[in-house]
Amino acid sequence: MAIVVNKPLPEFEANATGGIKVSNTSHNGQILILYFYPKDNTPGCTTEAMQFRDKYKDFIKAGATVFGVSRDNMKSHDDFKEKLELPFELIADTEEKMCHMFGVVKNKIMYGKKVKGIERSTFLVGPDGTLVQEWRGLKVPGHVDEVLKAVKAIKAQDKKVA
């Protein structure tokens, strides 16, 4: 089942570093950020992870939880997390279930060959489990600031409603 902006996330469950299970309902009441990236320890993915790391306290302050998602296994994630001192957990989607559900598996051309890869994408889920915003095929520079701005806008909206 595909995900659609302004609709609840379909059911899913995944394992993350730190022994955490993440599902479509595990973070209800919080703003959830799922950022999909191609591979641990590659230049763009390292830069993106470090930018989320550097803004992590701002995300927490705004009421958001961050998870990185890739097809790497748990060992690779644990090493990547430790090396970069990431304060958030990484989801190991080795069977590509989440990647397919979120529609981030794309055909890419790498060194002249067609390969299936992860399109760098971020999904912002509101406290009620509804997909609020998505960024697909994004470029790393400035992206984390854009996501933080969107989170703060949700937080400001919640304050007005309360």
Q: Residue 155: which residues within 8 A CB-CB, separation 6 or more?
A: 31, 62, 63
Binning the chain into helix, strand and coil, the percentages to the nearest 5 are 35, 30, 35
CB-CB contact of 125 with 103 (8 Å): no
CB-CB contact of 27 with 33 (8 Å): no
Choice among 9, 14, 22, 45 that is catalytic: 45
CB-CB contact of 129 with 25 (8 Å): yes
Burial class from Cβ neighbours inside 10 Å (0-12, 13-18, 19+) for residue 111 reads exposed
> Active-site residue 99, yes or no?
no
Instruction: Report the catalytic residues.
Output: 45
